[in-house]
Structure 1
Amino acid sequence: MSVAAYGIYSDVSMAASLRNWPSYVAERTGIASGKTLTYRLRNGAVIKVRAGTSDTELLREILVSKCYNPPGFEIGREDTVIDIGAHIGSFSILASKLADRGIVHSFEPMPDNFTMLRENVAMNNAKNVRLHEFAVSDSIDVRTLSISPSHTGSHSFYPQIWSADKPLLEVIVKTTTMKAFVDSEGIDTIDFLKMDCEGAEYEILYNCPDEILNRVRKISMEHHQVDGNNANPHALKKYLESKGFSVCAKFYETDNYPMIYARR
């Protein structure tokens, strides 16, 4: 399918997923730019977005492209789900409906996004979602998060993943580790680990002890190209395979959605 054809398919499918599809048309045509919209999905979820930003683009990727849930990566009703890089909650809310007898832990360090995440969880009465205003990293600390000037879901500890000529703003955020969090929550099994953390996936997974990584059943993650030893998707694929995962990867060179899918 050509890029143009896929764009039409994506827009039509997105509109068909919404009860209030005229709001999507208003956003796509620029009429609603600068406003806050609430999309009402046909599955009963409601998602508030900042019109004219990348909020809706990310919702469309999750809802239409199902980039985190290809065949074999479904979420079960009693699953424990961890969402690292929850943004405004699009994935977490949909996961909470699938894991209606389970629990979803949502991590989002960016204050503006976290406010939207909290509002979206409240609007959906998603009582099985636990919110954590932290970044997950390789240490328990505070760090500088660089703010993407063009994409609400691309704030990163590694701004080199963007174009070098973009101006940067920064915010200080709290960080934790997989081990510290899992131990504090007493989690025995992580059924589904979703990651979209703009380059931090390498430090998170490479520094995750085997005792914690062995509890993970499925990983669905976007990957990024970061400077540094083994901070690339090819090395990460091999690493996860060495830890007992069966891994399928889509790389930048061949796919519009650079993803790694790993499962036991």
Structure 2
Amino acid sequence: MGLAYLRSDADRAAGTGTARVLAREAAGCVRDMAVGLRRGRGAGRVTVPYWMARRFAGAAGTPLDSEALLAFRFATPDRPASVVLRRGQSDLLILWQVFLRRFYELDAVYALDEPLTTLDTVVDLGGNTGLAAAYLTARYRPRRLLTVEPIAESLAVLRRNAELSGLDWIVEPLAVDGREGELEFAVSGFWDTCTAVPAVRELRGSRPHRLENVLARPSRTVPAVTVERLLDKHGIDRVDLLKIDVEGSEAGIFAEARPWMARVARIVMEIHDKYIDGIAVRSTLARAGFHRVPPRVPDPVGFNPVELYIRRA
């Protein structure tokens, strides 16, 4: 297998050599281990660096693909968070994004005009294992958090993290899309990349080196609802933060400006420009009254942009 999984699509497109990729990723692993040492709590000061090293080794050789659970406790700028996750490349990647890189530490990542200390209502579309929801709960102490995840294996871990969070999360076993009905999901043991968008599935499928293909599982059909139906069902009139990571389904959700968008104060969203028309998504956001908050730090190499939008008063 060589070092195939360390090279991103961007590396391949640019012709970046294996030695350069290896040096970059090894240096990143050392930094991640140091951050894990600082941000882990209790035994996590040892186990987080160890599993960051295992993640690197898995990407450099045989990918980790186990559903056995790991337990960690992390610091956030407000209070600690306890979480569980699977011993796999996908969950360790999300752990790195959420608790080491702190993608959802909004004041640090984005140039906000005012400090953001609390969020009353959070809606998480694409909950995966609940790591982002766990961070948002510990950091911003919402009164209410609704999270949505359609893939049963990830949903089971999410429910464990809901129990650990100290908040009674509302958990919906659904997908969210621009229309209601049933969606066919391409499923993989690289769990965070499960997608119902044909363009995403086809392009990723054409690249056999990607972990979605190496760790592929049988596809499945899941129910989908619209954001409006979801908010109405739970009587949510205002969303302080809408977090979206839905592997390309943002194209359907933001195909046009809709009335539910007026209920949302902020959106933090991963936009999959490699696969969908990100310009159209951003145009819809602008028509709905949202403006993008400039980032303070660049997105990591090889990752889709995670962007913050605030609706104008």
Higher helix content, 1 or 2 = 2
Asked if 1:215 corresponds to 2:237, the answer is no
Query: Which of 69, 81, 95 matches 1:59?
Result: 95
- Greater Rg over alpha carbons, structure: 2
Determine the structure 2 residue equivalent to 1:242.
287
- Offset of residue 27 of structure 1: 2.3
Change (3 A) 1:49 1:254: closer
**Structure 1 stretch displaced more, 118-127 or 243-252:** 243-252
Alpha-carbon separation, structure 1, partners of 2:308 and 2:142: 24
Asked if 1:85 corresponds to 2:126, the answer is yes
Q: How many residue pairs were aligned?
A: 257
Q: How does 1:109-124 map to 2 (within 5 A)?
A: 109-124=150-165
Residue identity in the other structure for 1:221: M
Determine the structure 2 residue equivalent to 1:38.
71
**Superposition CA RMSD, Å:** 2.9
Determine the structure 1 residue equivalent to 2:149.
108
Unaligned runs of 5+ in 2: 1-23, 59-63
C-alpha deviations, 1:5-47, integer Å up to 9, x for none?
4443333213321112222233234499644210111343111
Change (3 A) 1:256 1:146: closer
Residue identity in the other structure for 1:238: S
Residues 266, 308 of structure 2: 8 Å contact kept: yes
Alpha-carbon separation, structure 2, partners of 1:18 and 1:5: 20
TM-score (norm 1): 0.85
Query: Which of 39, 50, 62 matches 2:86?
Result: 50
Alpha-carbon separation, structure 2, partners of 1:85 and 1:234: 21
Alpha-carbon separation, structure 1, partners of 2:158 and 2:39: 21
Query: Which of 188, 194, 198 matches 1:148?
Result: 188
Residues 84, 106 of structure 1: 8 Å contact kept: yes
Percent identity of equivalent pairs: 20
Unaligned runs of 5+ in 1: none
TM-score (norm 2): 0.73
- Offset of residue 219 of structure 1: 0.7
- Offset of residue 205 of structure 1: 2.0
Residues 293, 309 of structure 2: 8 Å contact kept: yes
Q: Secondary structure at the match of 2:46?
A: helix
**Structure 1 stretch displaced more, 46-55 or 59-68:** 59-68
Change (3 A) 1:107 1:75: farther
Q: Secondary structure at the match of 1:214?
A: helix
Determine the structure 2 residue equivalent to 1:169.
218
- Offset of residue 74 of structure 1: 6.9
Determine the structure 2 residue equivalent to 1:263.
310
Determine the structure 2 residue equivalent to 1:193.
242
Alpha-carbon separation, structure 2, partners of 1:249 and 1:4: 30
Query: Which of 24, 35, 39 matches 2:48?
Result: 24
Residue identity in the other structure for 2:231: V
Change (3 A) 1:161 1:15: farther
Residue identity in the other structure for 1:162: R
Change (3 A) 1:17 1:252: closer
Change (3 A) 1:53 1:3: closer
Alpha-carbon separation, structure 2, partners of 1:52 and 1:191: 32
Alpha-carbon separation, structure 2, partners of 1:157 and 1:95: 26
Determine the structure 2 residue equivalent to 1:130.
170
